[in-house]
Amino acid sequence: MGKELDKELKIEEAPVSEEEKVSRHFIEKEIDKDLAEGVYDTVHTRFPPEPNGYLHIGHAKSILLNYGMAQKYGGKFNLRFDDTNPTKEKSEFVESIKEDVAWLGADYEDRLFFASNYFDQMYEIAVELIKKGKAYVSDLTAEQMREYRGTLEEPGINDPNRERSFEENLDLFTRMKNGEFADGEKTLRAKIDMASSNMNMRDPILYRVAHMSHHNTGDKWCIYPMYDYAHPIEDAIEHITHSLCTLEFEDHRPLYDWVVREAGFVHPPRQIEFAKMYLTNVVTGKRYIKKLVEQGIVDGWDDPRLVSISGLRRRGFTPASIKRFVELSGISKAQSSSDYAMLEYCIREDLKPSCSRMLTVLDPLKLIIDNYPEDQIEMLDADNNLENPDLGKRQIPFGRELWIEREDFLTAPIPKYKRLYPGNEVRLMYAYFVKCVGYDTDENGNVTAVHCTYDPETKSGSGFTGRKVKGTIHWVSAKEAVPVKVRLYENIVDEEKGVYNEDGSLNLNPNSLTECSAYAEPALKDVKPFERFQFVRNGYFCVDCHDSKEGAPVFNRIVGLKSSFKLPS
């Protein structure tokens, strides 16, 4: 472990205003109390994922909470993998989690640890528990153990092996370690209380036999510690002060405290539970996502339709937007759900001042300006972001033939329609007024091109005030346009019908992904993965990190422009 874990960081607390005291959540108040009473003189937290899958939005809450508390109190933050179950863990998951934590900005510096690094210490502690008469080797099968455990209304029954001598237990435990028993043949159990009202205290299993190779320790071990035994020891070894975890571990807290106490740690960590992050109408369960991946319904664990952290990153969400979402969702002990619309609100607010607003046509229809010089191309000035002048301007090419959105033309107008139709005049954004004088159709009556004339006196920025038009539409020059692929996303499940069917399967939305062959202005040709832009009228988009090629970008829509979500006043 090195000297790093043994250093103690002294904190000088800054004065806290009355307003800050009121706004603090319950965990901050508990930490304040512990520091004031001298229970701890530092704050040291950790994020302890099991590397058995990819992280999702709920894990982001835990990462940011643990890191945030360490930052707020001038303490330390560890990343530690609880890799005690080799049946489900992979190095692939370890690497993805490290990337997610780093991307969210939770800096664990050089404090990256693995539970498996402590297996020798855990084994020695188990030996000491046996010697103290606090643990014994059991011959019961898993089915027998369930029968002996009792119910919430009835106490459990003592294991027939509970009174074995410590010499016999030591011999059997050593033989377990040496590989003399088959998987499931023996377990090491804590000797606590089979009549406890807390089921977790009814002689829980500490070690089981598992002849499996481990991603970190290889074939060194054929016995592995259980999570409830290993986790508190890991915390204590790393000098964690506040073990922040979700509410399902509340009933496990007495066992957590028992382990660190019986293991002899002088300054035990304190477990505090908080409510999980629940998000409406999304899929976070690992077994469901695994099935989606294996069946090829989604493009891997980082598919942009998923709320895995890697999926959100690939889609174009920012760490700042997720942090803001976690803050708005709040920290409490009460279970509640946050609306996905709030997450979309957070990313819009983050991108609005920082993204350049670009011209891209997703459903192209040719527009021909009949009276514009056929071979002429002129460069027009365009603001990158009117709300942020620091982003400057750019030039875009304009010519006789353009692409416009198909929905921006109707052969016959409908009420309140302000865009192009025969006889109507609109402004082409950054360019001129154009008036529709006709259109072409194919043999099926589908419109193939719109014909207009332009007024050269109406150039944008010229100060023309002769008349006004009610509609403005965007466009790209057909000759210089860059062909791009655009992906539009909806929820992967059908929100109207509910997330799950009666048989427990996912109620999938067949329209969760739509791909468009679009045209973009030339400035979008040589973009880099993860660059983000606002496409005028179409939403915010991010360059896909997997499928984009040089000169042929693929854009994922992060979120549309319109939102029904309102922050509570």
Instruction: Give tens-digit pLDDT for 310-319.
Output: 999 999 999 9
The predicted model gives 193-204 an average pLDDT of: 97
Look at residue 216 and tell me whether its pLDDT is greater than 50: yes
Q: Would you state the pLDDT for residue 438?
A: 97
Handedness of CA 401, 404, 406, 407 (dihedral sign): negative
User: Between the CA of residue 212 and those of 92, 177, 287, what are the distances in Å?
Assistant: 18, 13, 22
Q: Which of 14-18, 190-194, 247-251 has the lowest mean pLDDT?
A: 14-18
Q: Which of 38-52, 457-471, 538-552 has the lowest average pLDDT? A: 457-471
Please tell me the predicted confidence (pLDDT) of residue 564. 64
Read off the amino acid at residue 45. Answer: T
**Phi, psi angles (nearest 5°) of residue 48:** -115, 65
Distance, in Å, from the CA atom of 457 to the CA atom of 462, rounded to the nearest integer, reads 8
pLDDT tier at 219 (50, 70, 90 boundaries)? Answer: very high
**How far, in Å, CA of 523 to CA of 336, rounded?**
44
| Inter-residue contact 81 to 333 (CB < 8 Å) | no
Are 69 and 75 in contact by the 8 Å Cβ rule? The answer is yes
Residues 6+ apart with CB under 8 A from 490: 509, 511, 512, 513, 514
3 state SS of 289:
helix
> Hey, is 555 helix, strand or coil?
strand
pLDDT, position 569: 55
Contact assessment for residue 259 and residue 227, using Cβ atoms and an 8 Å cutoff: no
For residue 4, what pLDDT is reported? 37
Residues in the chain: 569
Rounded to whole angstroms, the Cα distance separating 301 from 266 reads 42
478 Cβ neighbours under 8 A, 6+ residues apart: 366, 399, 401, 402, 403, 519
Does the structure show a pLDDT above 90 at 336? no
Range with lowest mean pLDDT among 18-27, 92-101, 160-169, 524-533: 18-27
Nearest-angstrom CA–CA distance, 383 and 219: 62
In contact, 106 and 47? CB cutoff 8 Å: yes
pLDDT at 21 over 80: no
Domains of the chain: 3-274 (3.40.50.620), 286-355+484-559 (2.40.240.10), 364-474 (2.40.240.10)
The C-alpha angle with vertex 100 and arms to 96 and 103, in degrees rounded to 5, equals 135
DSSP notation for 246-281: EGGGGGGHHHHHHHHHHTT-SS--EEEEE---EETT
Query: CA–CA separation, 216 vs 478, rounded Å?
Result: 56
Average pLDDT rounded to a whole number, residues 530-559: 97
> pLDDT grade, residue 568 (50/70/90)?
low
pLDDT score of 443 more than 50? yes
Sign, CA dihedral 283-288-290-294, equals negative
Buried b (16+ CB within 10 A) or exposed e, 168-202: ebeebbeebbeeebeeeebbbbbbbebebeeebbb
The pLDDT confidence band at residue 567, using thresholds 50, 70 and 90, is: low
Interior angle at CA 84, CA 44 and CA 135, nearest 5: 90
Hey, which residues does 357 pair with through a beta bridge? Answer: 534
Secondary structure (DSSP) of 478-493: TTTPEEEEEEEE--SB
Phi, psi dihedrals of residue 42, rounded to the nearest 5° = -155, 170
Q: How confident is the model at residue 7 (pLDDT cuts 50, 70, 90)?
A: very low
Cα 142 to chain centroid, rounded: 36
CA dist 483 and 515 (Å) reads 13
With contact defined as beta carbons under 8 Å apart, do 258 and 190 qualify?
A: yes
> Could you tell me how far CA 107 lies from the centroid of its own chain?
17
- Torsion-angle region of 218 (φ positive above 0: left; ψ -120 to 50: alpha; else: beta): left
Structure tokens at 55: 């992280």
CA 222 to chain centre: 34
pLDDT digits 0-9 by tens, 31-90 = 999 999 999 999 999 999 999 989 999 999 999 999 999 999 999 999 999 999 998 899
Q: What is the pLDDT of residue 283?
A: 86
Is the pLDDT reported for residue 479 higher than 90? Answer: yes
Q: In 375-392, which positions are buried (b, 16+ CB within 10 angstroms) versus exposed (e)?
A: eeeeebebebbeeeeebe
